[in-house]
Amino acid sequence: MSRVTFFEVEILDPKTKGQLCFLDKVEPHATIGEIKCLFHKAYPQWYPSRQALKLDPKGKALKDDEILQNLPVGTTATLYFKDLGPQVGWTMVFLSEYAGPLFIYLLFYFRLPYIYHHKHAFTSSPYPAVTLACVCHSIHYIKRLIETIFVHRFSHGTMPLRNIVRNCLYYWGFAAWLAYYINHPLYTPPYYGNKQVNYALAMFMICQAGNFSIHLALNNLRSDGSKARKIPYPTKNPFTWLFFFVSCPNYTYEAGAWFSFTIMTQCVPVGLFALISFIQMTIWAKGKHYTYIREFKEYPDLRMPIIPFLL
């Protein structure tokens, strides 16, 4: 019968190097997540999702599924603790980010008092483009809320509370800015009239359907409950065929939706929001693209991060 060699784990404050916790007889196959739970018993205010444990004070945080005996440590392991601050679940994060713009936009669309001049209170715009813009904006964020509840799988359980405040300011602020100008009594319709609006509307709906299809395809990659990263491939759904050319077609469709919304409304603030969103999504897409390349030797060479053959 083989003898089990237990580990000793000491958790230190990275600044003072003082010992916060000493764990005796830790099983060698214990994960970092389990060690966090043991640490939580000693310090109830630091629940597991609030903790970051590192091998070096300035190093990267260890993942919850990493196993103690596989780490470059001896039988006495020294870990450094960092308080990540109050955490909020990702589902609550996205519900907060997306519900806000949905309701804020409607306040401007129905022209509630004190938004515009009092004589325009509770009036409506005579232009079909304004009504269609409200419908499209609502569809976009309702879709996001549905995806948050029923589709998305989150690899990280929480987000720092301070980040949700920043993100809500971004989404809510831009929604108010766009809605103010699109629903303004002095708003002028697109230069090419209904033809411009209808073509843009068709493109917007195609991009929304494409974005939803990609999110479903990504969800199906983890239908077995696995958290392991896999290469996404096109399916029988034509909207997923963009996977032949880009690593993150969900961002491609998202960018297309906002640029078509810009054409539909012919509004400068919408165009600026679309540009800023595209820059941010390009950064995210490049990060995911190069992660795929590092992790998978067989990753398709033809793919680009977000725009086929270009970017």
Where do the domains of the chain lie, and which CATH numbers do they carry?
Answer: 7-85 (3.10.20.90), 88-295 (no CATH)
Torsion angle of C-alpha atoms 26, 27, 29, 30, degrees rounded to 10: -40
Does the reported pTM lie above 0.85? no
Q: What is the DSSP letter of 48?
A: G
- The reported pLDDT for the residue numbered 154 is 62
Q: Decide: 99 and 90 in contact? Cβ < 8 Å.
A: no
Rounded Cα gap, residues 305 and 293, in angstroms: 11
Rounded Cα gap, residues 62 and 31, in angstroms: 10
- The reported pLDDT for the residue numbered 108 is 97
Mark the ranges of the chain whose per-residue pLDDT is less than 50.
Answer: 1
Supply 52's token pair: 């970051």
Pairing of strands 7-12, 19-26: antiparallel
- The reported pLDDT for the residue numbered 186 is 95
